[in-house]
């Protein structure tokens, strides 16, 4: 049975039984409150292009804001969401560094988080996944805002927009180290989306992007890179990124995303041997503080 058939069957069973499929079992009302709170935040102001960020520039993530939104933070208490992402991250970390005897798993530490359509929670999941991996003892994380048309990572994190990915691809005088940001989470770095560009798809599919991804993947052997990608069915940028990723995580909104949308998105990804699904916004089981009792 193909992964498309498995995914479709899983959606059928979950809708028919109205059972909360696991992985990121965030109650829908809570998730919608997070989305509404983030949407109400002021848009970050992009700093003028001529300015080049310092290699050691640091930004302070608003961890209190993330905590209030119910998201994973390094010093936060144990919550159902944090426990879910502890489970979600484990096979991704294992695959990132399990390259096989022939070293064939190219870019296995590059993980793209996407969805079929907007509003399914891909940015929510990308940030929580990055924060959860940043809590590991042996790994560091680079979170890349690759949703270059509608970047929302800065608003979640409570930081100003900066030069980033698009600027490196369009300005050969900029180096990755010029735009990569340190954060107040020691093991987490950020690469903002940068200034929007009308040829974003072509830039993401370019040789310059391929070379940049090689550099990102190899620069630090213990680093995992999380890409918050655009939705697959509404943009061409996500498909340009997908072909260069070692792993792809597709977020599926519980009881809302249709079988047709999931099948279409999976077909566009082509290969299915590196694709995982997160079933998001499902209702949690009652009487269960930390999410135990998984199906």
DSSP string, 62-82: -HHHHHHTT---TTPPP-HHH
Distance (Å, rounded) from C-alpha 129 to C-alpha 238? 19
Q: Output the pLDDT for position 23.
A: 53
Distance (Å, rounded) from C-alpha 31 to C-alpha 39? 12
User: Which residue, 179, 185, 253, 184, is CA-closest to 216?
Assistant: 179
Q: Output the pLDDT for position 234.
A: 87
Contact 230, 239 (CB under 8 A): no
Q: Output the pLDDT for position 222.
A: 87
Distances (CA, A) of 43 to 10, 39, 58, 151, 179: 37, 9, 20, 10, 20
Q: Output the pLDDT for position 69.
A: 87
This prediction's pTM: 0.79
Q: In what order do the strands lie in the sheet with 188-191?
A: 58-59, 181-183, 188-191, 140-145, 223-228, 110-115, 247-253, 275-280
Q: Output the pLDDT for position 221.
A: 79
Q: Which stretches of the chain drop beneath a pLDDT of 50?
A: 1-22, 27, 29-30, 45-55, 101-103, 286-295
Contact 61, 127 (CB under 8 A): no
* 57, burial (CB in 10 Å: exposed 0-12, middle 13-18, buried 19+): middle
Contact 107, 243 (CB under 8 A): no
Phi, psi (5° rounding) for residue 53? -65, 145
Contact 179, 191 (CB under 8 A): yes
Phi, psi (5° rounding) for residue 226? -105, 125
Three-class SS state of 257: coil
- For 154, the token pair is 């800065």
Whole-number average pLDDT of the chain: 80
Q: Output the pLDDT for position 16.
A: 39
Give pLDDT tens digits for 242-253: 989 999 999 999
């Amino acid at each position: 049975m193909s992964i498309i058939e498995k995914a479709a069957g899983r959606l059928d069973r979950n809708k028919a039984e109205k059972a909360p499929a696991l992985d990121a079992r965030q109650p829908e009302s809570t998730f919608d409150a997070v989305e509404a709170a983030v949407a109400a935040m002021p848009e970050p102001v992009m700093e003028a292009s001529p300015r080049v960020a310092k290699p050691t520039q640091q930004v302070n993530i608003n961890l209190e804001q993330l905590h209030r939104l119910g998201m994973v933070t390094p010093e936060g208490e144990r919550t159902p969401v944090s426990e879910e992402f502890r489970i979600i991250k484990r096979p991704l970390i294992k695959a990132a560094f399990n390259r096989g005897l022939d070293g064939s798993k190219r870019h296995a530490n590059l993980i793209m988080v996407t969805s079929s359509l907007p509003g399914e929670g891909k940015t929510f999941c990308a940030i929580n996944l990055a924060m959860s991996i940043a809590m590991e003892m042996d790994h560091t994380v680079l979170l890349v805002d690759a949703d270059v048309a509608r970047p929302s990572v800065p608003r979640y994190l409570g930081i100003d927009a900066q030069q980033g990915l698009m600027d490196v691809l369009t300005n050969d005088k900029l180096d990755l180290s010029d735009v990569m940001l340190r954060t107040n989470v020691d093991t987490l770095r950020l690469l903002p989306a940068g200034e929007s560009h009308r040829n974003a798809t072509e830039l993401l599919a370019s040789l310059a992007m391929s070379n940049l991804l090689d550099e990102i993947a190899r620069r630090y052997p213990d680093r995992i890179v999380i890409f918050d990608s655009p939705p697959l069915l509404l943009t061409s940028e996500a498909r340009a990124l997908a072909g260069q990723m070692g792993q792809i995580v597709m977020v599926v909104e519980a009881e809302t995303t249709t079988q047709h949308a999931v099948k279409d998105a999976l077909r566009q990804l082509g290969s299915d041997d590196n694709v995982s699904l997160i079933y998001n916004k499902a209702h949690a089981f009652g009487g269960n503080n930390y999410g135990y009792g998984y199906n």
